[in-house]
Chain A
């Protein structure tokens, strides 16, 4: 085992670092969190800059217009970008991480020609229509119905947790084409243009006060059959292909942010009144901070381990579930520690007084989402228990 980077990897890091140093000072101010049109413009302009500099689709295969970079280079890219304060992937997330690679793997030549270059340059924004009100952890039970009508599908149903739906051009949509087949065998993967008649987007306000997600209502939306990716009723396999693009790098940016948040909390503790002194003088507080420092360092090492295994095997291990369980737990601990110390400053999402406290309140709320999004911690424990430890499954309905 070796944690050292190769000469090529170091050169890649140096080039990237110097490019970020040049380009970041030229960016406009980050838009308001709730101004979605402005966020789309900001995020897609950044994507264009990445494209022009040769960093777009770093992890995409070369035949898809990507760079075919190794998972380690992708790790370096995400680490350096976050440390330098570069824009997050933002509204480009679904296109770059899900839709693009899926179309490249399972789409027609025409679909590839049309969508892949536009995703890479930031011209196309995508959203995801997978989950439904009655199909969350049990995604394959989804009910949104698509009925074939000549060269179109007529689609009716409801999707939920659809990020960036307000500003997306396309939606990767899972629909049920055969209601009589076993649940995994009657699903189809469609490209849905978001400007078709019959689509209504209703933003959902989260406990953090943002409207990141939407509900998407579909009423007899007519989608051309040529927009199907993969065969009819083969959508579950196509979806699994999508999931296999993860290379252990999903939480790199969050990990960097978490370590910074922890350091900031430690600094804050030195100025935070607590008993007769500061919070830092409390050995219990210091020990919890120290424990979290060990945890986040270990999770960073675990990320490198998962990336190494993805590089070697070409497919992600189930190490991702282990990572996500531990990461969610660590973020809950960090948030709870902060909120236990903040007193009245924990009761507002703005800084109260002169100390930078609000980021810890936001961090605490964010932590609550981590153990739910992208597979709840309970589902992750089932995966770890059954696929790694080999424990028998609970009996479940087919």
Chain B
């Protein structure tokens, strides 16, 4: 048993962290709001770094890595608040959608049964319809007719369209691939949520060290220190759950894969939402302003929490194991 990052995973983590550090600046994040939430240059760079081809087998031109590597990468993307449909593009690449693996084709997804809100439609080339008996691939511009942009999306970097009906597309996979898409999507979204929870914590911790009141950094006061310690604790518990879920997905002999995924999803969502609010609180009045990034983390946490089906549904799924 070695339940910590190995050397490969650590190198991968560092690489993605470096890439995001230089590239995903606060300004660039904000500009992405004008381009459907998708920064195509960044998608290509992520593609070059292997983010979308991570789990594609070697013989098919991918990196042949497992879910444990993927969560390490997506944790970093979440931490850096990378916008756009990175999970859907990654999953589409695994299914062989052309251009997805190198990030030149951007792919979003929608639920077949209730395609009400579709994210990043304007910034995408393809859409994958998930559900029913199949996975289907639809060209994004064919959806345009039936799509109405939502004026004020909660997360300014996740623009939404209201879609009443979606056209049928080319079949990408059967019911099994629908289930696999959902499982992998659940795990990667949980990893983004974990990174998001850590990102909120880092932002708030930095502020608590710099901001002085009563002649001292506010982080020296236990009233502030303790809420940040709780935020770290939530994130570390979520990390253990997300990493364990990745191990389960790579090796189903370890136990109930779906329960591991549900537990990871709900703890990561809970940590991200609570840490997002904690971060705004620690920033005080400035935290409630648009210009401080704290709200961007919280709002993204809400988007991702919806993508895992919400905390409540996953709690119900866990209760089934009892």
Interface residues of A (CB under 8 A from B): 1-6, 9, 72, 262-263, 266-267, 283, 286-291, 293-295, 297-299, 301-302, 304-305, 307-309, 312, 319, 322, 325-326, 329, 378, 380-382, 384-386, 388-395
Contact = CB atoms under 8 A, between A and B. Distances in A.
Main secondary structure of the interface of A (DSSP, over half): helix
A379 to B, nearest CB: 10
Contacts of B31: none
A298 B246 contact: no
B3 A381 contact: no
Given A391-B225, A394-B221, A395-B220, 20 more contacts: A4-B1, A286-B319, A290-B316, A293-B259, A294-B241, A294-B264, A298-B237, A298-B267, A301-B3, A301-B240, A305-B240, A305-B243, A322-B232, A325-B230, A325-B233, A378-B226, A381-B222, A384-B232, A392-B217, A394-B222
B316 A283 contact: yes
B322 A3 contact: no
B4 A3 contact: no
B1 A262 contact: no
Of B9, B208, B225, chain A has the most CB atoms within 10 Å of the CB of B225
A386 B240 contact: no
Contacts of A382: 222, 225-226, 229
Contact of B68 (A1, A266, A304): A1
A356 to B, nearest CB: 16
A322 B208 CA distance: 20
Main secondary structure of the interface of B (DSSP, over half): helix
A110 B224 CA distance: 50
Contacts of A380: 229
B4 A312 contact: yes
B316 A287 contact: yes
Contacts of A1: 2-6, 9, 68, 243, 246-247
B244 interface: yes
27 contacts: A1-B247, A3-B248, A3-B254, A263-B322, A287-B319, A290-B316, A291-B318, A293-B263, A293-B322, A294-B263, A294-B315, A294-B318, A298-B264, A301-B244, A304-B240, A305-B4, A307-B3, A322-B232, A322-B237, A378-B226, A382-B229, A385-B226, A391-B220, A391-B228, A392-B216, A394-B220, A394-B221
A298 B224 CA distance: 26
A3 B254 CA distance: 8
A131 to B, nearest CB: 22
Contacts of A288: 315
Nearest to B226: A381
Of B9, B247, B322, chain A has the most CB atoms within 10 Å of the CB of B322
Contacts of B321: 290, 293
A299 to B, nearest CB: 7
Given A3-B1, A6-B1, A392-B217, A299 B237 contact: yes
Contacts of A388: 229, 232
B28 interface: no
Counting from the closest, the 3 A-B pairs by CB-CB distance are: A290-B318, A294-B263, A290-B319
A256 to B, nearest CB: 15
B252 to A, nearest CB: 12
B225 A294 contact: no
Nearest to A262: B322
Interface string B70-89: 00000000000000000000
A293 B232 contact: no
Given A289-B322, A384-B233, A4 B254 contact: yes
B319 A322 contact: no
Contacts of A394: 220-222
Contacts of B1: 2-6, 9, 72, 304, 307-308
A322 B241 CA distance: 14
A312 B254 CA distance: 23
A327 B264 CA distance: 17
B236 interface: yes
A294 B228 CA distance: 22
A389 B205 contact: yes
Given A1-B5, A391-B209, A295 B225 contact: no
Given A286-B316, A294-B315, A389 B220 contact: no
Contact of A291 (B233, B247, B266): B266
Nearest to B204: A389
Contacts of B230: 325, 381
Contacts of B4: 1, 305, 308-309, 312
